[in-house]
Amino acid sequence: MDERPYLIHLESPLDTPSTTEYLVRGWVVSKAPIRAVTTGRSSPRFLELAERPDVRTAYPDYPHVAGFAGRASADSLRGDCLSLTCVIGETDYESRHELNPKVLPPAALQIRQVGSEWGRNFYLSGGIMFDQITAAFEEHGLPLANAARVLDFGCGCGRVLKHFDRFPHQGEIWGCDIDPESIAWNRTHLAGVARFDCNASLPPMAFPDGFFDAIYSVSVFTHLPEDMQFRWLEELRRILRPGGLLLASLHGARYWEVDPGVKQEVLERGFAYRRGEATKGLPDFYMCSFHSEAYVRRAWGKYFDFEELKPSHLYGAHDSAILRRPS
């Protein structure tokens, strides 16, 4: 028997609406009486509730079933995320529903960032990682909602960064990347989310010392040769304020254990770098790197205080190394 207090399913819309008003339709099942389903934040709209015999048949463990339908406004949207509130018993539950974005990055830019064309899953997967990243920063005492400036280092075409459009925050969001086409695409399509800078393959960057409270980097240190990693760690330390946090994704044991040669090298020295076929549009040094936790503690500890390594943290794949710039 399912023990969750309620389940909600959105049937419409599936794509981000382009009009100021649009139809919302779906259903909810619950353990306690369903009193209301509303849309909107500043001026909630109550949706009409109705019987759904088809849903009742499909979910016999839930005694309370209702379909909902009605009009919603732009106030219900934050970026490509639609928020609904279900009043069940005496409790209000907010549910968020990721919609298909109005515009996806071109296939070539998706391939540079994730290796293939993912379609709508490009942003959906980025949203999962975004939630994992923001939770990790909060666990370590630096909520991104309160940060003065946050940097997505190696943002590509905004797979993760885009989700700041649904995340209440006070400060500036920045994204940087070595790919000028991705940065140009971001400046056109994500200008309302963040500011963007195209950096060179090697430091320095244009940012002043201690400019950022928090930096995260997904799928960058997973691809750089060792000497380049050290130069970038030194630069990220420079632009991160004392006490600020860095979260960097890594190819951990989930990756290096499947290749005997790589595994042996990582177990012996903690790091391995392998070359292969280059991705069109990316530099030839952008290959595949592997790290052990002991190596990160030792080698990266010259630049940061090591706080935690979360195995297979991001999307069940990359490890996350969390480090703090010494005060």
What does the pLDDT read at residue 227? 98
pLDDT digits (tens, 9 = 90+) for 183-210: 999 999 999 899 999 999 999 999 999 9
| Torsion of the alpha carbons at 69, 70, 73 and 77, rounded to the nearest 10 | -10
Share of the chain above pLDDT 70, in %: 99
What does the pLDDT read at residue 178? 97
pLDDT of residue 1 exceeding 60, the answer is: no
What does the pLDDT read at residue 278? 84
Write down the domain spans for the chain: 6-98, 107-324
What does the pLDDT read at residue 2? 55
259 pLDDT tier (thresholds 50, 70, 90): very high
pLDDT of residue 302 exceeding 90, the answer is: yes
pLDDT of residue 90 exceeding 70, the answer is: yes
Q: Quick one: angle between helices 180-189 and 107-114, nearest 10?
A: 120
Give just the sign of the alpha carbon dihedral 254, 156, 194, 306.
positive
Specify the fold of 6-98: Immunoglobulin-like (2.60.40)
pLDDT digits (tens, 9 = 90+) for 22-81: 999 999 999 999 999 999 877 889 999 999 999 999 999 999 999 999 999 888 888 888
Q: Quick one: angle between helices 121-139 and 107-114, nearest 10?
A: 40
What does the pLDDT read at residue 229? 98
234 pLDDT tier (thresholds 50, 70, 90): very high
What is the rounded average pLDDT of the residues 118-142?
93
pLDDT of residue 241 exceeding 80, the answer is: yes
16 pLDDT tier (thresholds 50, 70, 90): confident
pLDDT of residue 232 exceeding 80, the answer is: yes
| CB-based contact 198:133 (threshold 8 Å) | no
| Second CATH level (architecture) for the domain 107-324 | 3-Layer(aba) Sandwich (3.40)
What does the pLDDT read at residue 121? 87
Q: Which pTM does this prediction carry? A: 0.80
